[in-house]
Structure formats: C-alpha cells, structure tokens
Amino acid sequence: MDRIGKYEVLDRIGSGGFATVFKGYDPFIKRPVAIKVCNTRDQESRQRFFREAEIAGALEHRNITTVFDFGMHEENPYLVEEYLPGEDLAHLIRRHEPNDLGIRLDYLAQIAGGLEYAHQKGVIHRDIKPSNVRVLESGRCKIMDFGTAKLADVESHLTQAGMTLGTVAYLSPERLLGRETRINADIFSYGVLAYELLSFRRPFGGRNIPHLIDQVLNASPISLLDAWPDCPPKLSEIVHRCLHKDPQERYATCTEVLTDLEEVIIEVNGGVRPGLFSEQSSTITLPQPNLQVSGLLERARQLHARGKIDRALVMLEEVLEMAPDNLEAQQLSQACRATAEAAAGESQVDPSLVTSTSKHLLSWEGPEERRARKKGEAVASIESYIEAGQLVAALEAIKFATTLFGPIEDAPGLMRRTLARAREQVSEVKGEALRAARGIVDQMIQLRQKGLLQMELAEALAHRAQQLDSEDLASRDILAMVRAEASPSPAAPPVSAELSQSQKQLEAVASIEQLLLKGDVRMAAQALDFAVGLYGEFEQAPLLRQRIAATSKNPRAEGS
C-alpha cells in the first residue's frame, strides 16, 4: 500500500495476531506516525481493535502512546498513533540494561505514573509487560497497546485466545482464575515487570502454560533481595507487595506505589527529591510544559552530579528542543561538555579510538546537525554492507535511508556500486558453473571413448552440462554422438519393451562395474543415481551401493 487514508505509507514495522503496523507520514501536519491496520475478519479481534481506538484515544499522558486518528481503509479499520523511535523495554532487559539503578527507578516511576493516569480515567490496561513499554532515546517511557484494555465499570466478554508464555507470565492470579478484574490486577503485572527490570529475571517461570499458571497461582517468587543482593530493602518490599496473590493485600492504587517509590528514589539520590514528582502528591504529572522542562532539568542535574554525562546531555538535548532559550539548560550543557572534555583529556585512550557517539556528546546538536550526522552514519552503514557483499541489506538500507531523510546525494552512487557488486557476484557464480560444466563434458568424452559410459547416462549428463552452459559445443557434440548411436539399425530384430528395459539395466550395471574397476568411485555413484532415476530401483542396485561405499572407504579394495 502507498497510502492509508490521508497518510503516506513509508515502511512496514511489524505485525501481530490481528494487526499490521506501518510507519507512515502525515503530509498535512508533516510528522511521522505509526499506522496500525486490523488485518482480520474475526469479529472478536475487530471488536478488540475498536476498543483500543475508543479507550486509548481518550487518554492523554506523557507516558502513554498518543492516538491521533481512526478510520477505515478498504473495509479495514486503522488506528494512527505517534511514531515512537527507541526500543521496547523487553529488548533492554534481555541485554541486562540499564545498569544504573537511578535510571531503572525512573522507568518504574514513569510507568506507574502512566498507569495511575489510566486508572484515574477508569481504564484497566490488562496487558502490562516489558514488550508493551517503549523507551525513547530521551529516556521517556510510553505504555503501548490498549487492545486488551477495558473500562473498570464495564465487564469485558473478550476471550483470551492466543495466550502465550510471554503473556501469562504477567497476568494476575484473579485474571487466570477468571474472577472480577480490578485496577490492582495491573499492579500485579507491574510488579512482575519491576521484578524483571531490577533482577533481569522473571519472578515466575514454567516449562509450558499450565506449569506457568500453577507457579503464578501457588508459588512464591524468590526474594528480590536474593535474586539481586544490591536491591534496597524498601524497594524489595514495594515489588513483593505488588506481587501479593491476594488483591486485598496488594497496593490498591498506583498512587500508593508512587508514594513508596518516591522514598526509594530520594534515598538513592542522596536526599534529593525527584523533580517529576508534584508537590501536592507523589503522582508523576505532565500538566504544563514548564513542569516537564523542570523535571528533565532536575534529572539532568542529578545525572551530572553522579557523573552520568552522556545521559545528562540526552536530557538537556530534549529540554533545549522544547525551550531553546532556557539559560539554565544551556549552562548545565556547557558544564557537562566541560566535564566530558576534562575526562577525555585525562584518559589514556588513543583519541583515534574515540567513537563518533562519544564525540557527539561533547557538543549539543541542533535538529539539522543531527539529521546530517544520521545521514552520514546511514551512508557509512550502506558502504559497509556493499564491501561485505551483503547486497540485499544494502538495498534495504538505501530504501530506508531515502524514506527517512529524503533525497540523499550519495544514493545514486551507492546504488551503482551495489549493482556493480551484484554483477561481480553473478559473474563469479557463472564462472563456477561453466567450470563445472566443462569438467562434466571432459569426463564424458573420456568415458565414452573407453566404452565405459552407458548411452542414456551419457545423454543425461550431457543435458545437465547444457543446463549449466547452453553454448558449450563439446556437450552438443556428445548429444549428437549419443543420438547417432541411439539410431536403430535396419537389421535389428524387434525387441519387446520389457526385454529392452532389462537389457538397459544390465548395460547400466556393466558400465558401473567398469567404472568401479577403473577406480572412478565418484562417477560410479553418479551413474548409479542416474540409472535408478531412469529405470527405477533394480535388483543389483543395493549390492552396487555397498561396493561403492566399501571402495570409498578402502580405494584399493576393488582393485585387489
């Protein structure tokens, strides 16, 4: 598809059980978007899709994916959301990232803040797990996929078809038992996510879905303090309270979670109160842009104080994009750069080994500078693909880069280099094929001259050589010779079809035995395969295979 509604389709991002997601472009507002298209006629799945549009479209929060539009395309409903560059939290966890406790606590606070907002709007997500949380380059977390969500005061009749281990591992006991679902069912799932983010292992495991369900319903997870000895005791208490099997013993709201989580963050930050928490409550909020800026500034100050210069610069970059004239952000950015320069001066590392990313951290980039750098990195990546002979990857990278950045000056030259490299590869393959054909023809000529190659086998080999090289004159001569020998003699008496078949089999056996006597085991094996293909399995074939195998192991055995 080139277009869905008014949106241009740029690329396919992926597909799930009942929807395909495309990267698109809004030509009117001029921004990238994500377009989720329902690709099934199943009424229950389509109902779930409509529910996601209805529920997610009514939510507006910094930590929840924003829905822009909804429509129909060729009788298929589609949902238009903000495009989120970055990674799913599940990918980071698999790489055991991030290592910094402060950043992990920040992620947990953001996710709890998004859930708190949804719950206050009467929405239960019902599928909280790391793969449904997107982490942007700036460190902001976004909760995604409200396809299984329901309103707290409306009972859902959607089934749980298509459940997987990756989903069951995060479901609350009451959901697995089919009981009434309240908002703290999301808090149980949040507890599983928190346990996994902090210890890089899930609290419940199982070989299959029944075993996993039994673990969630009946087993107590290993203490987070045992799974991760560096865990602050208060944080372990928070996570295990989220994971309590009895909903009455669990946190009732995410506001309660954030109240306790704030204490841990203040302790980890050495008594500094996190800027994203409002003064009235422990809720993370985004009502005003200035609060968002001040929160990012506070995080940048904390990161700078702890020596996390790269993360601080990322925060400051986002602040300066929202508020380019913010004097405090400019000064803090200069201080970060000075710290980075001082560290680089004290380092014993060869300056030539410093990565382009590290160099980038030494100066703030505007949007145009960053775009130019990204284009340069894309061109360098494409060139490496071409040098490595990965031409399909090179073509895909060229297509993606031109889609993302528009016309690239180097693109025509890169395309010519890719096609030239492809022609070289085709030439190499063709040369190997021609050498193989030449070898087959040479062997046939020698064997036919010695009377050791049966006529029909010679014809089959000649046809194979012709397939490899249709212009080979020698193989044409062999075919002409074979056909001349195949011409019936006028004086030859008529032979029955059954007798003729038997005679041909005997001739094939004699030819193969002659090849074995000459010590040409490889050609004997090929001749036997051709003979069985022509005449079917005959009586002497098993014995010939045994002799070929024995001769291959002991080349002198046949001659003796």
For the chain, the helix, strand and coil percentages under 3-state DSSP, each to the nearest 5: 60, 10, 30
Helix (H) or strand (E) holding 20: strand 19-26
Rounded CA separation 108/103 (Å): 9
Which residues have a Cβ under 8 Å from the Cβ of 78 and sit 6 or more positions away?
A: 4, 5, 35, 36, 37, 38, 70, 71, 72
Tokens of 371: 């775009």
What pairs with residue 69 in β-bridges? 80
Helices (H) and strands (E) in the chain, counts: 23, 11
Query: Is there a cis peptide before residue 494, judged by omega within 30 degrees of 0?
Result: no
- 153 carries an active-site annotation: no
Alpha helices by DSSP H, listed for 269-305, are 289-305
Which residues have a Cβ under 8 Å from the Cβ of 14 and sit 6 or more positions away?
A: 20, 21
**Angle 433-437-442 from CA coordinates, rounded to 5°:** 150
Closest CA to 364 of 323, 330, 410: 330
Sheet of 3-4: strand order equals 3-4, 7-15, 19-26, 31-38, 76-82, 67-73
Query: Residue 257 corresponds to which amino acid?
Result: V
Query: Residue 444 corresponds to which amino acid?
Result: M
Q: What is the DSSP string of 141-202?
A: EEE---TT-EETTS------TT--HHHHTT--HHHHTT----THHHHHHHHHHHHHHHHSS-
Count of positions (residues) in the chain: 560
Give the active site residue among 11, 42, 106, 127: 127
Name the residues annotated as catalytic.
127
